[in-house]
Amino acid sequence: MSAAPPAPAPPDGRPAPTAEPATRRSVRSSLRPLVLRLHFYAGVLIAPFLLVAAATGFLYAASYTAEKVVYADQLTVPVGDRELPIERQVAAARKAHPKGTVAAVRPSAEDGATTRVLLSGVPGVAEDRTLAVFVNPYNGEVRGAEESYGSSGALPLRTWISGLHRDLQLGETGRLYSELAASWLWVIAGGGLVLWFGRRRARRKLRGTTGRRRLLSLHGSVGVWAAGGLFFLSATGLTWSTYAGESIGDLREALGQTTPAVSASAAGAAAGEHAGHGGGTGGTGRSGGADDVGLDAVLKAARAKGLTNPVEIVPPADDSSAYVVKQTERTWPGKADSAAIDPRTGEVTDVLRFDDFPVLAKLTRWGIDAHSGTLFGLANQIVLAALALALVLLIVWGYRMWWLRGSGSAFGRPLPRGAWQHVPAYVLVPLMAAIAVLGYFVPLLGIPLAAFLALDVLLGEIAYRRGRRDPSGQRAA
């Protein structure tokens, strides 16, 4: 007997009903179409956001080197015989820029590097930024002043590129773009890995091919090599995002894994008869007295506790506060110790070692520094640039494959609906529950996914109803 002809495809694109197989499909084979559909649509819809994040991330990785070149006159000076006391360097900066208060001082960290005196409350400078005054530590010459942002002391060029990468210079609203990209990057990368390693036999056939199959081979191979880095960028990017970052912060707080801070309380500091005279900090605006030991004594006390360069000295906030000296080395976060020094006695009142940080606090610091390109210096920045370039290529190849799937004249047809119907209930139900929980804590993953599913179901129902009204039984366009 001849085999019965295959049943015609339903007009809505749903898979045609077939006879139940003798053996139930494996879980892996039933999940693959679902993963393929998610990877395809997530790639198509989220890729523009990822492309912007990758391009701006590439620029940010290069901004560290560019900053050293653009601001070379302010950052470096000829090496002299002896450095001036910190107090005299701060006085020189205050003479050149008398407005505002001294928020922090970053002494010259190496031979030929300038000292930075950071002033807050300077007219014309944004509240979340300081004015960095660069002072030659050997002769007190002021080499210039630039706006500075963040704990890394980013100057205007790097600050602008950082803002472009973070929020497209659109403020809090713009941050949604980067959080959306970070929320979906790991999903797309993970789906690609599942698909690539699930088609071992097909990969052999891709060798030596051309056209779309060649692009598929390149897309998969580069994706596999870059996947680990993309997972890392996604996870670390979410730590300082708006909504997912808040969830991560709440979790760390519940687990007692928040980042600790040195106690800035000075037990022996109290308002005295000299309050309001400015003290020995060069006019910081602190209401301290003339008995302030001064910046040089504070730095000496911190050095005695092992706080090596580079460091930042933060003056007391009020009469009951201490100086805080903290290491600012970002190329290896093991150098992140801090100490509090009593402004009247010069005694160290508290010391916080990075070794004493909770595990998650250490991992967060390492992750953020690596994501920012500072953990391993230039090598870190080169790796970030390579990852950004790889992501750009993956996106371009992905769109090109989509185009070629439509024979080069139009974008390819969408993948068929109904893949979830073949997933066993004992797998589908827990999977959907896990996605719901994850979507709650990562809303820019959960909300777009729910919207996509609702729209997909609606379009499927519309196509199905149109097909039922079509007497020819042809597939709806």
Residue whose C-alpha is closest to residue 104's, from 381, 454, 338:
338
- Helix (H) or strand (E) run with residue 53 in it: helix 27-70
Extract the tokens encoding 217: 């081979």
Amino acid at 136: N
Closest of 309, 312, 300, 339 to residue 85, by C-alpha? 300
Q: Please measure the distance between the N-terminal and C-terminal CA atoms of the chain and give it in whole angstroms.
A: 36
Taking the domains of the chain in order of start, what are their residue ranges? 76-164, 260-272+281-372
Asked if 93 contacts 142 with a C-beta cutoff of 8 angstroms, the reply is: yes
Q: SS3 of 325, please?
A: strand
Residue 231 to residues 132, 332, 374, 375, 440, Cα–Cα distance (Å): 36, 22, 19, 17, 20
Q: Which residue type, as a one-letter code, is found at position 466? A: R
Whether pTM exceeds 0.85 = no
Position 104 confidence tier, pLDDT thresholds 50, 70, 90: very high
Average pLDDT value over all residues in the chain: 84
Contacts 24+ apart (CB under 8 A), 207-214: 211/404, 212/401, 212/404, 212/405
Q: What is the pLDDT of residues 166-222, one digit of tens each?
A: 999 999 899 999 999 999 999 999 999 988 887 765 555 555 566 778 888 899 999
Alpha helices (H) in 334-424, listed in sequence order: 359-372, 378-405
pLDDT digits (tens, 9 = 90+) for 39-89: 888 888 899 999 999 999 999 999 999 999 999 999 999 999 999 999 999
* Pairwise CA distance, residues 73 & 114, whole Å: 10
Domain 76-164 sits in CATH at 3.10.450
Mention every residue, 6+ apart, whose C-beta is less than 8 A from residue 437: none
Contacts for 400 with CB less than 8 Å, ≥ 6 apart: 215
Element (H, E) at 348: strand 348-352
Classify residue 353 as left (phi > 0), alpha (psi -120 to 50) or beta: beta
> Cα–Cα distance between 304 and 311 in angstroms, integer?
13
